[in-house]
Amino acid sequence: MLVVMKADATEQDINRVVRIIQELGYRAHPMAGATRTAISITGNQGPVDATRFENLPGVAEAIRVTKPYKLITLDLRPEKTIVRVGDATIGDEELCIIAGPCAIESRTQALTVAKTVHRSGARFFRGGAFKPRTSPYSFQGLGEEGMKILAEVRDVYGLKIVTEALDEAGVDLVERYGDMIQIGARNMQNFSLLRRAGRSPLPVLLKRGLSATLEEWLLAAEYIMAEGNYQVVLCERGIRTFAQHTRNTLDVAIIPAVRAISHLPVIVDPSHASGKSSMVTPLARAGVAVGADGLMIEVHDQPERALSDGAQALTLEQYDRLVHEVRAIHEAIAPVPAL
């Protein structure tokens, strides 16, 4: 059930609806938009009686929700969500760039890459301290030591730290040392992790699972939001197909497909999508051209020595060039202001 308030509904009207929802034993999710507030109800097993709300002061209508999701939808919030990470944003007119190495390998490596990322004007630094590797014998990340290096990058350059939590204990560490929780492709349907991230004060970057449908991905975001954390950014990072010329296949069509359903920001990761540094820039251009709110890029000061994902890492020079190019594309497709 979605309770849509009138444009002139008072705070008291909204609070009354919220209270009644809670008294029924459900959870209320009020979302203020530019013109009206809508309140979504979760926690109900069967249908909710619309007549309970229809005649309350300030209520425009109570709509039965027939779609599987309630909180990610444009029905609840017709305007795009802008995710705020301190004073940096994702989802507004500025193109968001999240860049850094696949894994934090040393203090020197992280600070060297961060210097270039900062100089490029990007506001976000990425780097894994806990790595989800296919083989248990591959480099697993520096763990908490890596987190401490990330915190130093934040102190030195003021960059916002985006780093992966592999499990619920990992979320505790991101909350201590970072600014945004990354949930990786392999964990997109780790429901206890999603719920834990949903109870965090930090925003969440939710990567699309290796073979996740649009609906599965959006429902994973819904898990986070159902716990009360509405600061979710979706990240398309390529899916598993029969293609052998790339590590994964970048599904650019998912960007407008998400837009048609959801108010959440969506960004593109061309690094994991291609697995090849030579393809990262062309795919980044495509991601921006198709309307993504931002990019997540892997960059390394010495890609040939990287302990993980070296083949897809851009050099510092290649990264600088990419930023320049994608900003030009972003500007070129900016909506023309109405006359």
Q: How far is the CB of 43 from ligand PEP (least distance, A)?
A: 30
Contact stretch for ligand PEP (CB under 6 A) within 22-30, 39-47, 52-60, 184-192:
184-192
Note whether 237 binds ligand PEP by CB under 6 A: yes
Whether 104 and 149 have beta carbons less than 8 Å apart is answered as yes
Cα dist from 90 to 32, 59, 85, 140, 268, whole Å? 18, 31, 8, 29, 12
Q: In 10 A of CB 34, how many CB atoms?
A: 8
Nearer to ligand PEP, 86 or 132 (CB): 132
Quote the tokens at residue 35. Answer: 């013109």
- When binding is defined by CB under 5 A, the residue of 4, 102, 174, 296 that contacts Mn ion is 102
| Count of residues interacting with ligand PEP (CB under 6 A) | 9
- When binding is defined by CB under 6 A, the residue of 97, 102, 104, 153 that contacts ligand PEP is 102
Nearer to Mn ion, 31 or 280 (CB): 280
Ordered alpha helix ranges (H), the chain: 11-23, 51-54, 107-119, 144-157, 168-177, 191-198, 214-226, 254-261, 270-274, 277-289, 316-332
Residues 103-162 contacting ligand PEP, CB under 6 A: 128, 132
- What does the longest C-alpha to C-alpha distance in the chain come to? 67
Whether 5 and 16 have beta carbons less than 8 Å apart is answered as no
Nearer to Mn ion, 236 or 309 (CB): 309
Contact stretch for Mn ion (CB under 5 A) within 19-27, 58-66, 99-107, 193-201:
99-107
Q: For Mn ion, what does the binding mask look like between residues 252 and 291, x meaning CB under 5 A? A: ----------------------------------------
Q: How far is the CB of 298 from ligand PEP (least distance, A)?
A: 7
Q: How far is the CB of 298 from Mn ion (least distance, A)?
A: 6
Q: For ligand PEP, what does the binding mask look like between residues 199 and 228, x meaning CB under 6 A? A: --------x---------------------
Quote the tokens at residue 265. Answer: 């920001």
Note whether 250 binds ligand PEP by CB under 6 A: no
Q: How far is the CB of 128 from ligand PEP (least distance, A)?
A: 5
Q: How far is the CB of 244 from ligand PEP (least distance, A)?
A: 18
Strand, helix or coil for residue 94 = coil
Whether 312 and 275 have beta carbons less than 8 Å apart is answered as yes
How far is Cα 312 from Cα 102, in angstroms, rounded to an integer? 9
Alpha-carbon torsion 104, 107, 112, 114, what sign?
positive
Contact stretch for ligand PEP (CB under 6 A) within 116-124, 145-153, 178-186, 249-257:
178-186
> Judging by DSSP bridges, how do beta strands 83-85 and 59-63 pair with one another?
unpaired
